[in-house]
Structure 1
Amino acid sequence: MQTKTVLFIEGDGIGREVWAAGRPVLDAAVAKAYGDFRKLDWQEILAGKKAFDATGDYLPEATMTALKNCDLAMKGPLETPVGGGFRSLNVTLRQVLDLYACIRPIRYFKGIESPVKRPDLVNMVVFRENTEDVYAGIEYKSGSTEARKLVAFLRDELGANVDDTAGVGVKPMTPNGCKRLVRKALRFALDDKRPSVTLAHKGNIMKFTEGAFRAWGYEVAAEEFADSVMTEDEAKNGGKKPVIIKDRICDALFQQVLMFPEQYHVIASPNLNGDYLSDALAAQVGGLGLAPGVNMSDDIAFFEPTHGTAPTIAGKDLANPGSLVLSGAMLLEHVGWGEAAALIHAAMEKVISGKRVTVDLAGQIDGSTQVGCKEFGELLGQAL
């Protein structure tokens, strides 16, 4: 038997419910695709409120040690403790484990009623840089000693025009951080036979951070992928390479992905722009309840649903386990078990088309019947 060990964190809020509903679907898909020849070996580790209740620590050292020595992990949503010393548990995990690429595929499932005319044309993968930009942001409160010192330095030493009362923030972006993100996006496009990678940036205004992201992205393409990646100008002049690298200013790209989604296949972006774009794209195809994701380093693939803990509906059997299930399908694809992943995607489309869905989807689909989190998971399992 071929076994893949997956460390998992149940998560806070709706985490327990979506795990209970979603994990059996993943196991059933593997069993149907491969019988007794392949299996997922789930091993629980603790983080968040469950960890605090058991150990007095929201992020135990044993959990971090286990994660640093694994290659596959999966988690539910984690809340950030107020006054717990963490800016965010999710951000801490990403930075400590160097999970620099947040990868979010967005696709349409038949049966979803969307606010846009052609949601079926949406089929993109967003690569969002995960450790720099605002996620590594340094900021000082208006009127604080630190802010006054930094404002004085900017004004007196560098000649910048900054008001004395300003709150001040700095967002660091490095050549290495930007290049490795674009490199991963280009490799994915080539491996998955996607025809383009678009760099999303605000380089017309922030020339030495977001503009640098754009420039460094083109450098990676030219220096490391010259045989297989070409610019838009090269394509217009008759180039025949399999992938086109292009760039768009992020606000213009928001409009483009709404009006012409078929023109965009892979998007690579600094942190904040990627967050906005992936959530906006998810809204076109059903919302965060169907939005999977993975955070990756060069060694670890850490899969997780895109939604948060949703504390107002926790324990009420209202959550949608779809995002967790689809994140699991991503995991299966990642390890080469594509047949099981395909079964999950087909089951999701079948159940949604049958109009028996959780509350978040029921509000978008005329004539639908609302079911609970547990029942939705059971319907997915039956549809495999």
Structure 2
Amino acid sequence: MSHEYEKVDVPSDGEPIEVVDEEADELDIPENPIIPIVHGDGIGKDVGPAAQKVLSAAADATGRNIEWMRVYAGESARERYDENLPEDTVRAIDEFRVAIKGPLTTPVGAGFRSLNVALRQTLDFYANVRPTYYLDGVPSPMKAPEEMNMVSFRENTEDVYAGIEWEAGTDEVEQVRDFVEDDMGFDDVMHEGEIGIGLKPITEKGSKRLVRKAIDYAIEHDRDTVTLVHKGNIMKFTEGQFSEWGMEVAEEEYDDDEVFAAPDSLWETQDEIDIPEDAVMVEERLADAMLQWMQLRTDEFDVLAMPNLNGDYLSDAAGAQIGGLGIAPGANFGDARVLAEPVHGSAPKRAGQDQANPSALILSGELMFDYMGWTDAATLVRDAVEETISSGVVTYDFARNLDDAQKVSTTEFANEVIENIEKLS
């Protein structure tokens, strides 16, 4: 180990995950890996242990064993370290490469805009990945929610989430205003009175590595399309550049029979273009139109690649189509590293009541297993969760929208999923 851990124990029976080739995203996964876990704040106290049990059961059922390394962030870290994001936690996730966490709440005055964003930026988890698919039995507002089977790749480190902004009424914002008006000549859009100003950095490096990750995922998972979603018709030198750089990746870094970069005219001349049969097609769509197409032509989209803010909006909207964010899994990918986490928040009013739905965190573990190459364990987790829900055994959030449902606690739901893992394995 490269780090001496102060207040956490490293499992003595487990083996660390090793990096084979960081650029190629290749890890050496032992059969008994050490995996750090943060249970989380609020309902994380309930769903964290529940998900841990389920994921252990899936690993056991496929002949493996996870050695969990409990680490801390948020409220649990304040109790243990008197700080929100201790070095032990950052180092553990960095050193052991594969980790999972529940939801975190960033307290007022914590020194972070978001603990989640801080972890992503500190360890360069540059792709926020959110699979959106329908599970039989989940109540949904859509007529055909089963048509949704899409994976969103949201750039995770830049755009407006870089946090470069200045507060109205400060000397700093007035300096920026003077520069923009006097030196850059944009006086016609700077209205009189107080103003808040923020920067929206979109880089070539950040754009290309995100799109590359999305294309590689599509190839590995037999997906047909990667759609670059942007608002480049208005933000030409930020989101427009994201699209241009993304298309450069598709055109220059892959063989023609592997990846087809669709021309702008595709939608008018699609029948006349010779697209290689097994190639992943990389296309573009405007973000505002995409919000319509996700509902009207849901089954046409496989993988989306987006700048940070678009990815936040669009992945949440996609989650609503399959039953809400309470069921939505997610993970953060870097180079040869993954931090799985659910999309939902910490819901502190429900904390400690053993009522919350652990499905999103459990299914985030499925995504973690898939990243590790444990596809059999990943499939087992997803099938067992779906079998549990489709049988009518659900937590309160689903029970209130279903007829004849059997409402169970967080713990009881996890136990039912484990029973289904044993039946399906």
TM-score normalized with structure 2 length: 0.87
Equivalent-residue separation in structure 2 for 1:220 and 1:324 (angstroms): 32
Which stretch shifts more, 230-239 or 60-69? 230-239
Equivalent-residue separation in structure 2 for 1:87 and 1:2 (angstroms): 37
8 Å CA contact 1:151–1:163 kept in 2: the answer is no
Question: Does 2:295 match 1:266?
Answer: no
Letter in 2 for 1:196: T
Question: Does 2:46 match 1:9?
Answer: no
Equivalent-residue separation in structure 1 for 2:236 and 2:415 (angstroms): 51
| Cα offset, 1:275, TM superposition | 0.9
| Equivalent of residue 362 in structure 2, options 325, 346, 369 | 325
Question: Does 2:225 match 1:196?
Answer: yes
The residue aligned with 1:370 is 407
Post-superposition Cα deviations, 1:175-228, rounded to whole Å, max 9, x if no partner, equal: 000110000000110111100000011111111111111111001111101431
The residue aligned with 2:262 is 232
8 Å CA contact 2:251–2:261 kept in 1: the answer is no
Matches within 5 A, 1:40-59: 40-59=66-85
| Cα offset, 1:267, TM superposition | 0.2
The residue aligned with 2:24 is none
| Cα offset, 1:68, TM superposition | 2.2
Structure 2's unaligned 5+ residue stretches are 1-29
| Equivalent of residue 151 in structure 1, options 177, 185, 210 | 177
Equivalent-residue separation in structure 1 for 2:302 and 2:54 (angstroms): 28
| Cα offset, 1:130, TM superposition | 0.3
Equivalent-residue separation in structure 1 for 2:242 and 2:262 (angstroms): 18
The residue aligned with 1:92 is 118
The residue aligned with 2:96 is 70
8 Å CA contact 1:72–1:302 kept in 2: the answer is yes
| Cα offset, 1:11, TM superposition | 1.0
Which stretch shifts more, 58-67 or 302-311? 58-67
Do the aligned partners of residues 291 and 173 (structure 1) sit closer, same or farther apart at CA in structure 2, a change above 3 Å counting? same
Instruction: Look up the SS of the partner of 1:39 in the other structure.
Output: coil
Matches within 5 A, 1:330-345: 330-345=367-382
8 Å CA contact 2:38–2:48 kept in 1: the answer is no
Letter in 1 for 2:191: D
Letter in 2 for 1:229: V
Letter in 1 for 2:200: K
Which stretch shifts more, 184-193 or 368-377? 368-377
| Equivalent of residue 47 in structure 2, options 15, 18, 29 | 18
Aligned residues between the structures: 381
Letter in 2 for 1:367: D
| Cα offset, 1:371, TM superposition | 1.7
Instruction: Look up the SS of the partner of 1:198 in the other structure.
Output: strand
Which stretch shifts more, 239-248 or 181-190? 239-248
Post-superposition Cα deviations, 1:126-182, rounded to whole Å, max 9, x if no partner, equal: 000000012103112223222222112111111112123321111111100011000
Structure 1's unaligned 5+ residue stretches are none
Equivalent-residue separation in structure 2 for 1:84 and 1:328 (angstroms): 28
| Cα offset, 1:232, TM superposition | 3.0
Equivalent-residue separation in structure 2 for 1:169 and 1:286 (angstroms): 34
Equivalent-residue separation in structure 2 for 1:363 and 1:279 (angstroms): 22
8 Å CA contact 1:332–1:341 kept in 2: the answer is yes
Instruction: Look up the SS of the partner of 1:2 in the other structure.
Output: coil
| Equivalent of residue 221 in structure 1, options 246, 250, 264 | 250
RMSD: 1.5
| Cα offset, 1:242, TM superposition | 1.3
Kindly, what percent of the aligned residue pairs are identical?
46
Letter in 2 for 1:56: D
| Cα offset, 1:249, TM superposition | 0.6
Equivalent-residue separation in structure 2 for 1:362 and 1:278 (angstroms): 24
Letter in 2 for 1:170: L
Question: Does 2:352 match 1:315?
Answer: yes
8 Å CA contact 1:139–1:168 kept in 2: the answer is yes
8 Å CA contact 2:141–2:323 kept in 1: the answer is no
| Cα offset, 1:312, TM superposition | 1.1
Which stretch shifts more, 365-374 or 4-13? 365-374
| Equivalent of residue 133 in structure 2, options 102, 107, 117 | 107
Matches within 5 A, 1:134-213: 134-160=160-186, 161=188, 162-164=190-192, 165-213=194-242
| Cα offset, 1:20, TM superposition | 1.9
| Cα offset, 1:273, TM superposition | 0.8
Post-superposition Cα deviations, 1:48-91, rounded to whole Å, max 9, x if no partner, equal: 11111111111112222222222111111111021121111111
Letter in 2 for 1:261: T
Do the aligned partners of residues 263 and 86 (structure 1) sit closer, same or farther apart at CA in structure 2, a change above 3 Å counting? same
Post-superposition Cα deviations, 1:336-375, rounded to whole Å, max 9, x if no partner, equal: 2211221211111111111121122223333323221111
8 Å CA contact 2:130–2:328 kept in 1: the answer is yes
TM-score normalized with structure 1 length: 0.96
